Amino acid sequence: EAHGTGTPVGDPIEAQAIGTVFGRGKEVEVKDRCRFGSIKSNIGHLEPASGMAGLIKAALCVQRGYIPPTLHIESVNPRIREDEWGIHLSREGGAFPDSSGPRLAAVNSFGFGGTNACVILQEPPKLLRERQDRNLARRPALFPLSGSSNASLCTIAGRIADQVDAGNMALTDLAGTLALRRSHLDYRAVVLANSSDVASSGLRSLAEGKPHDGVIVGRRMNCSGPVFVFTGQGAQW
């Protein structure tokens, strides 16, 4: 992810630096070269926030395995010698290059005052589904879900099932987040699971409106009666 402000002098200097450090030589095929681009072609120059925008973009690229295009390129600055430096400007979106190791991305951000930074991002380790399932077998987890309507509850269940199937999250973390970090709306359900497969099956059944042994569905009751609070010595409560 280049700083890439579109200047005729600055861009070639940055591109050459990228090629010097990350380029793999002109004999390497285009598909295997270090790809570079800039989010400024999408949203403009955010000035003090531009580095953060590039960081967010790079993190999403690493997470999702997709590199979006750099937009509005009619012609490349002739001073940027991609073939010679072994780099490739991403004119079209595409999948992250295949590699036996984790995905890597670098983010350049250059300040007006001369403070230059380069942050390296690495794909996190793949979650070990077998280890998760062993933990859940000893201690099943509850996955509470809720929505403002039955339709939204089903939609949420389907989305979470997609993430469970993709192995993008630790199920114990998911259970904790759903219980403690989400608002509990009127239409509710809970999925009891002791493995990734059972969790996915329960969530899919909920999404499709089908009964499942590990799923309980209900709706919050409105209680309008009086409430008495006995504070003891803590009247400030």
Ranges assigned E (strand) in 84-147 = 87-89, 94-95, 104-110, 116-122, 141-147
CA atoms within 13 A on the CB side of 94: 14
Segments forming the whole domain that contains residue 140: 129-219
pTM, full prediction: 0.59
Q: Are residues 16 and 110 in the same domain?
A: yes
Report the side by side order of strands in the sheet with 215-219: 141-147, 187-193, 215-219
Output DSSP code: residue 49: G
Tally of domains in the chain: 2
Secondary structure of residue 132 in the 3-state scheme: helix
pLDDT at residue 133, as a whole number: 61
10-residue mean pLDDT profile of the chain (237 residues): values are 92 94 82 91 91 95 92 90 92 85 93 89 73 70 95 96 84 90 94 90 96 94 78 64
| Residue 89 falls inside a structural domain | yes
Q: Are residues 102 and 18 in the same domain?
A: yes
**The domain that contains 198 carries what CATH number?**
3.30.70.3290
| Residue 134 falls inside a structural domain | yes
Write down which residue in 74, 103, 122 finishes a domain.
Answer: 122
Q: Are residues 175 and 108 in the same domain?
A: no
| Residue 56 falls inside a structural domain | yes
Q: Are residues 118 and 133 in the same domain?
A: no
| Residue 156 falls inside a structural domain | yes
| Residue 133 falls inside a structural domain | yes
Task: Produce one character per residue of 128-154: b if its CB has 16 or more CB atoms within 10 Å, e if not.
Answer: eeeebbebbeeeebebebbbeeeeebb
Cα–Cα distance for residue pair 85/69, rounded to 1 Å: 20
Write down which residue in 74, 104, 122 finishes a domain.
Answer: 122
pLDDT at residue 12, as a whole number: 94
Output DSSP code: residue 68: P
Please name the residues in contact with 229: beta carbons below 8 A apart, sequence gap of 6 or more: 237
